[in-house]
C-alpha cells in the first residue's frame, strides 16, 4: 500500500517532473551498476586472475615453500643455495619459506625466510606446496612432513647442463616455475665475536679446512706450513689467522709463532664470517670457509686440485690458483676415486701461490683493507 504523496512505483507525486526524472535515472544507474558487477565485472575478474596464475605460475596468495638442507651438504653447498632462496622470495613475495636443518648460525636472523626448523617434530604436522631441493641435498624422509607438494630436485637440471657455477644449477629450480630475474648474491649471517683479535699489515687468513672423507681427501693443500713461513718472511708486519674446525689438521706447530693465531674451532659460523670480512686476504682450498669469504665479499684465493673451478670458484673479489696437471679436474669422473697419489694438489707449488698472493695484494691497493 503506497504512502500519501506516493504512487505505486514509490515516486513522490508531490515532486516536480525534473526531480522525479532525476530520481528514476539515479535508481536505474545504481541497478545497472549492480547488475554489471554481478554479471560482467566479477566473472571477468575471476577469469583474468586465473589466467594470470596460469601464465606466470604466481599465485595471488603465497605458497608454502620448504628448502631442506639434509643429505651430504657441506657449508659451501648451503652458501651456494642462498641465491635460490632469495629468488623464491622475489618470485613469490608472499610465500611462507621454511628452512629445514640449516647449519648452526650461518643463516640466523635472515629476514628472507619465515622460519627455520631444526627437528623433525617441527615439520611433522606441516604440508607444503613446493619443496626446492638444492644441489647435493636430499628431500626429507617420508613421514617427516605431511606433504612435500611438488618436489623440484637439482638432479634433473644437473644432467642437462655442465660446467656452470653451482648457484646457477640451484637457480634452475626456481626458473622452472617462472623466475626470470638475475642470480642474487650469496648470503651468510655475520656476528662479531667476543674475543679481540690482533691484526697486522696485512692480516691473512689461512683456511686449511675441508671434509675429511675419502672422496675429498685430495682437496686439502699439503703445503700450508711452508706457505706460513714464506708469508711471515715476505711481510714482517703480517699477522696470520688460521681458521677451520678444531679437528682440521695443520701441517705446522702454531704455538711458537707470535704473529700467528690458531682460531680453529674458536668461533661459530657467523663469527667466522665476521673474521673473514675483516681480514685483508684469505687463502684456502676449495672448502666452505672460502664460500663464506666469497659471500661476505672478502678478498680470497681459492686453491684447486681435483675439483672444478667453474663449478665452485669465487664470484666476487676472489681469484683462483690452479694445479698445472693435465688430469684435473677429475671431480666428475671415476679417476677421483681411483687416484691414490693426489698429483694435482701436490703439483700446486708454494711459489705459484705466493705469486698469486702478491698480485692480489698489489691489485687490492693500500693496506690495511679492514673496515
What is the structure's pLDDT at 49? Answer: 65
pLDDT at 290: 94
Q: Are 98 and 65 in contact (CB under 8 A)?
A: yes
pLDDT for res 371: 38
Indicate if the pLDDT at residue 343 is higher than 80.
yes
Closest CA to 281 of 203, 359, 371: 203
CA dihedral of residues 262, 345, 321, 186 (deg, nearest 10) = -70
Q: The sheet that has 300-304: what strands, in order across it?
A: 260-262, 239-243, 203-207, 281-285, 300-304, 318-322
**C-alpha–C-alpha distance, residues 216 and 341, integer Å:** 13
pLDDT digits (tens, 9 = 90+) for 61-99: 789 999 999 888 889 999 999 999 999 999 999 999 999
**What is the total residue count of the chain?**
371
Span 300-313, mean pLDDT? 90
What's the rounded Cα separation, in Å, for the pair 54 and 56? 6
**pLDDT band at 311; cut points 50, 70, 90:** confident
Helix (H) or strand (E) run with residue 160 in it: helix 154-160
Check pLDDT > 50 for residue 161. Answer: no
Cis peptide before 290 (omega within 30 of 0): no
Q: Which three cell numbers stand for residue 179?
A: 623466475
CATH of 203-364, one of 3.30.420.10, 3.40.50.2000, 2.30.40.10, 3.40.309.10: 3.40.50.2000
* Whole-number Å distance between alpha carbons of 370 and 275: 10
H or E stretch covering 320: strand 318-322
Radius of gyration for the chain, computed over Cα atoms and rounded to the nearest angstrom: 31
**Mean pLDDT across 294-317:** 90
**How far is 201 from 334, CA to CA, in rounded Å?**
44
What are the beta bridge partners of residue 138?
A: 70
Per-residue pLDDT band at 335 (split at 50, 70, 90): confident
Alpha-carbon distances of 307 from 209, 297, 303, 319, 364, rounded to whole Å: 15, 22, 9, 15, 27
C-alpha 335/C-alpha 120 separation (Å) is 38
- Among residues 321, 316, 269, 266, the alpha carbon closest in space to that of 296 is found at 316
Amino acid at each position: 500500500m503506497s504512502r500519501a504523496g506516493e504512487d505505486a512505483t514509490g515516486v513522490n507525486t508531490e515532486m516536480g517532473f525534473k526531480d522525479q526524472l532525476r530520481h528514476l535515472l539515479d535508481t536505474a544507474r545504481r541497478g545497472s551498476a549492480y547488475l554489471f558487477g554481478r554479471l560482467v565485472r566479477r566473472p571477468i575478474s575471476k577469469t583474468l586472475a586465473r589466467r594470470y596464475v596460469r601464465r606466470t605460475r604466481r599465485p595471488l596468495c603465497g605458497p608454502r615453500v620448504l628448502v631442506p638442507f639434509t643429505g651430504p651438504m657441506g657449508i659451501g653447498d648451503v652458501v651456494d643455495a642462498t641465491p635460490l632462496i632469495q629468488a623464491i622470495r622475489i618470485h613469490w613475495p608472499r610465500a611462507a619459506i621454511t628452512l629445514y636443518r640449516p647449519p648452526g648460525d650461518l643463516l640466523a636472523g635472515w629476514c628472507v625466510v619465515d622460519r627455520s626448523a631444526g627437528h623433525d617434530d617441527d615439520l611433522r604436522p606441516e604440508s607444503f606446496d613446493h619443496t626446492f631441493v638444492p644441489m647435493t641435498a636430499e628431500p626429507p624422509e617420508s613421514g617427516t612432513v605431511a606433504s612435500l607438494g611438488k618436489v623440484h630436485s637439482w638432479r634433473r637440471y644437473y644432467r642437462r647442463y655442465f660446467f656452470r657455477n653451482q648457484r646457477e644449477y640451484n637457480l634452475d629450480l626456481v626458473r622452472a616455475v617462472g623466475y626470470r630475474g638475475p642470480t642474487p648474491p650469496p648470503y651468510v649471517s655475520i656476528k662479531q665475536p667476543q674475543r679481540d683479535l690482533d691484526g697486522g699489515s696485512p692480516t691473512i687468513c689461512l683456511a686449511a679446512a675441508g671434509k675429511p672423507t675419502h672422496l675429498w681427501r685430495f682437496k686439502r693443500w699439503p703445503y700450508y706450513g711452508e706457505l706460513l713461513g714464506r708469508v711471515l718472511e715476505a711481510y714482517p708486519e703480517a699477522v696470520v689467522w688460521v681458521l677451520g674446525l678444531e679437528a682440521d689438521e695443520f701441517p705446522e706447530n702454531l704455538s711458537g709463532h707470535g704473529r700467528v693465531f690458531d682460531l680453529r674451532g674458536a668461533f661459530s659460523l657467523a663469527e667466522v664470517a665476521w673474521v673473514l670480512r675483516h681480514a685483508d686476504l684469505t687463502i684456502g682450498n676449495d672448502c666452505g670457509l672460502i664460500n663464506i669469504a666469497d659471500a661476505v665479499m672478502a678478498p680470497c684465493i681459492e686453491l684447486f686440485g681435483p675439483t672444478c673451478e667453474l663449478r665452485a670458484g669465487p664470484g666476487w673479489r676472489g681469484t683462483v690458483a690452479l694445479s698445472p696437471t693435465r688430469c684435473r679436474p677429475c671431480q666428475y669422473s671415476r679417476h677421483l676415486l681411483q687416484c691414490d697419489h693426489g698429483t694435482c694438489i701436490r703439483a700446486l707449488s708454494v711459489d705459484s701461490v705466493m705469486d698469486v698472493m702478491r698480485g692480489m695484494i698489489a691489485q687490492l691497493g693500500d693496506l690495511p683493507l679492514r673496515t
